[in-house]
Amino acid sequence: MQFSLNIQNSHYVADLSQPLNLTLGFGPNFENPNAFHINYPTVEPIRVGDFVGSVKEGGSANCEIVTYCAHGNGTHTEGVGHIAEERISVHEVLTKHFFTAQMITVPLVMENNDWVITLAELQKHRIEKVEAIIIRSTPNEVSKKSEVWSGNNPPYFTLDAMQYLVDLNLEHLLTDLPSVDPEEDAGALAAHRIWWQYPSKTRLHSSITELIFVDDSIEDGLFLLNLMVPKIASDAVPSQPIVYPLTLV
């Protein structure tokens, strides 16, 4: 099955039988990256009276309780509810789930003893008029999938880099970093606030997806992005970004 669309008067098609998954999962046998000293997720059988939700332990069916925090336990998408006083859930932010997207690879740069994504490096790319930007940082070691970011001062975006992405009218940002802000910033969350233009002129339907992983086998370019989130009333939820390369026809 093919999907066709136009970007800046050029016609593209996407082969929906060739999905590329950018998700890092959590739980048994998944990648389980960790950030912000958040506890690792737990997946345990429910126990109610004589019933145990584990066939291995003699139960009639498997029935598990999952305990997690999206912000530190794998790929997740957050909306402005992450920094707003009012409760705004992610499923209220993402009113659609297919977007035009561009993937770029950006090297991390050392500034003031921190590794960062800078404006200068972003400006080396010609970013098209798309809805979403997917940023793969380098170095891009496979170990990044299960990285323990907690307490290790992970990379982040400089404020002018974030303002540049906003000025390009991009609505959705996907990054392989655990946050667009520093691990320790006294609660400022300045890059988040720039992205959502909060509270002055809030970009309600914009999102940030963090802790993705883009394999080196995936080339930079244009994609159709399917950003799927569960209907959970929270500021951030586990998500599954799937991309399909766009071919010019």
What's residue 5's pLDDT?
Answer: 86
**Cβ neighbours of residue 77 closer than 8 Å, sequence gap 6 or more:** 90, 94, 207, 208, 209, 227, 229, 236, 237, 239, 241
Residue 166 covered by a domain: yes
Q: What is the CA radius of gyration of the chain?
A: 19
Chain Cα centroid distance, residue 121: 20
Residue 35 covered by a domain: no
pLDDT tens-digit map of 35-69: 999 999 999 999 999 999 999 999 999 999 999 99
In order of 17, 19, 138, 243, the CA distances from 99 in angstroms are 17, 14, 24, 9
Average pLDDT over residues 206-227: 97
Residue 239: domain span: 2-23+76-248
Separation between Cα atoms, residue 130 and residue 220, nearest integer Å: 14
Residue 131 covered by a domain: yes
Separation between Cα atoms, residue 228 and residue 242, nearest integer Å: 8
What's residue 111's pLDDT?
Answer: 96
CATH code for position 106: 3.50.30.50
51: helix, strand or coil: strand
Residue 59 covered by a domain: no
What's residue 174's pLDDT?
Answer: 98
What band does 9 get if pLDDT is binned at 50, 70 and 90?
confident
Q: Model's pTM, two decimal places?
A: 0.96
**Cβ neighbours of residue 156 closer than 8 Å, sequence gap 6 or more:** 114, 116, 117, 177, 179, 180, 181, 182, 183, 191
Average pLDDT over residues 102-131: 97
Residue 114 covered by a domain: yes
Number of independent structural domains in the chain = 1
Residue 51 covered by a domain: no
The 10 Å Cβ neighbour count of residue 15 is 14
Separation between Cα atoms, residue 153 and residue 114, nearest integer Å: 8
Residue 215 covered by a domain: yes
What's residue 166's pLDDT?
Answer: 97
What's residue 127's pLDDT?
Answer: 96
What burial letters (b/e) apply to 16-35, b meaning 16+ CB within 10 Å? eeeeeebbbbbbeebbbbbb
Residue 38 covered by a domain: no
pLDDT tens-digit map of 129-186: 999 999 999 999 999 999 999 999 999 999 999 999 999 999 999 999 999 999 999 9
Q: What is the DSSP letter of 167?
A: H
pLDDT tens-digit map of 176-206: 999 999 999 999 999 999 999 998 888 999 9
Q: Cis omega (within 30 of 0) on the bond before 199? A: yes
